[in-house]
């Protein structure tokens, strides 16, 4: 009778447990994005909970209310500033999300401590803050204040490295009279300062229009004309707003 051959326990192949098994399907791009969104939500909540700043929706509501009011008749100056942390993404990558959150919290507190007490600071998303200045201070003085804020920025990463801010500003009544256009002007100033090397403050300036051949359907042009008349806004302004929204959607 043949003897059954056995393999010693020490040489038997160990089967992987269910926990260590590979995913049942390759991780898709959509799943990667979903995980990223979940991290972003947790991060946003952590920073917002710590700072207790009004957010982007509040910024739009407050600024719209100001612009619809009588600030010009009362001689009040209304200036907005968009404050962006330069090259923030590497902080999360190099030091972790919790360290990145703490840097944003410290940044928000720094900004709040270095603007007038009656000035409102908002966290409008990610590593960007917004500030609304209102009162009798001239925009040139606000520019100097923002420049001092930028120059004195002392928030550091865990390794002790210094960081920088870039700021774009726009003035109601001078640069624009509507929320979307005023924010667009400040955002354009911010972009210009980034392109110029970051760690700068830039004022909005008059747009330089460049002729460009475009093709629209007759229906689009009719609807644009109707919207322009209903809102009392120039067609060119509406088209610029639409293009800015498109560029932001694709992060360009």
Residue 3 has pLDDT above 50, yes or no: no
Which of 41-50, 149-158, 222-231 shows the lowest per-residue confidence on average (mean pLDDT)?
Answer: 41-50
Asked if residues 51 and 108 have their Cβ atoms less than 8 Å apart, the reply is yes
The per-residue pLDDT for 111 is 98
Q: Using CB atoms within 10 A of its CB, is residue 99 exposed (0-12), middle (13-18) or buried (19+)?
A: middle
Which residue intervals of the chain bear CATH 1.10.1220?
214-252
Q: Using CB atoms within 10 A of its CB, is residue 22 exposed (0-12), middle (13-18) or buried (19+)?
A: exposed
Q: What is the pLDDT of residues 125-158, one digit of tens each?
A: 899 999 999 999 999 999 999 999 999 999 999 9
pLDDT range class, residue 221, cuts 50, 70, 90: confident
| CATH 1.10.1220 correct for 214-252 | yes
Which residue intervals of the chain bear CATH 3.30.70.270?
40-207
Calpha distance 86→146 (Å, rounded): 15
Residue 17 has pLDDT above 70, yes or no: no
Asked if residues 83 and 165 have their Cβ atoms less than 8 Å apart, the reply is yes
pLDDT (mean) for 230-245: 80
Residue 115 has pLDDT above 60, yes or no: yes
Asked if residues 150 and 142 have their Cβ atoms less than 8 Å apart, the reply is no
Which residues, listed in sequence order, are joined to residue 133 by a DSSP beta bridge? 79
pLDDT range class, residue 27, cuts 50, 70, 90: very low
Asked if residues 203 and 190 have their Cβ atoms less than 8 Å apart, the reply is no
Pick the more confident residue, 228 or 16: 228
Class of the 40-207 domain?
A: alpha beta
The per-residue pLDDT for 241 is 79
Calpha distance 111→224 (Å, rounded): 40
Calpha distance 46→42 (Å, rounded): 6
Supply the mean pLDDT for the chain. Answer: 83
Question: Which two three-digit tokens encode residue 219?
Answer: 């229906």
Q: Using CB atoms within 10 A of its CB, is residue 189 exposed (0-12), middle (13-18) or buried (19+)?
A: buried
Q: Using CB atoms within 10 A of its CB, is residue 55 exposed (0-12), middle (13-18) or buried (19+)?
A: middle
Q: What is the pLDDT of residues 162-210, one digit of tens each?
A: 999 999 999 999 999 999 999 999 999 999 999 999 999 999 987 665 6
The per-residue pLDDT for 76 is 94
Q: What is the pLDDT of residues 149-162, one digit of tens each?
A: 999 999 999 999 99
C-alpha gyration radius of the chain: 26
Asked if residues 87 and 152 have their Cβ atoms less than 8 Å apart, the reply is no
Q: Would you tell me how many other CB atoms lie within 10 Å of the CB of residue 238? A: 16
Pick the more confident residue, 230 or 218: 230
- Residue 178 sits at φ, ψ, to 5 deg, of -115, 155
The per-residue pLDDT for 251 is 62
């Amino acid at each position: 009778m043949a003897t059954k051959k056995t393999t010693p326990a020490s040489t038997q192949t160990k089967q992987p447990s269910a926990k260590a098994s590979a995913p049942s399907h390759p991780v898709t791009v959509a799943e990667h994005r979903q995980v990223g969104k979940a991290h972003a939500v947790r991060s946003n909540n952590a920073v917002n909970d710590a700072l207790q700043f009004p957010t982007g929706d509040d910024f739009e509501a407050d600024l719209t209310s100001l612009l619809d009011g009588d600030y010009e008749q009362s001689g009040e100056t209304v200036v907005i500033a968009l404050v962006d942390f330069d090259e923030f993404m590497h902080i999360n990558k190099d030091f972790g999300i919790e360290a990145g959150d703490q840097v944003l919290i410290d940044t928000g507190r720094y900004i709040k401590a270095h603007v007038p007490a009656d000035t409102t600071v908002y966290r409008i998303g990610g590593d960007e803050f917004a500030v609304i200045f209102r009162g009798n201070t001239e925009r040139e003085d606000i520019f100097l204040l923002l420049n001092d804020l930028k120059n004195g920025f002392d928030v550091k990463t865990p390794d002790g490295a210094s960081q920088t801010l870039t700021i774009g500003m726009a003035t109601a009544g001078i640069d624009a009279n509507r929320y979307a256009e005023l924010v667009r002007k400040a955002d354009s100033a911010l972009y210009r300062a980034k392109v110029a090397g970051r760690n700068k403050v830039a004022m909005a300036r008059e747009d330089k229009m460049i002729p460009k051949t475009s093709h629209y359907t007759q229906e689009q042009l009719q609807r644009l004309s109707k919207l322009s008349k209903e809102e009392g806004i120039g067609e060119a302004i509406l088209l610029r707003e639409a293009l800015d929204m498109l560029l932001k959607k694709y992060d360009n």
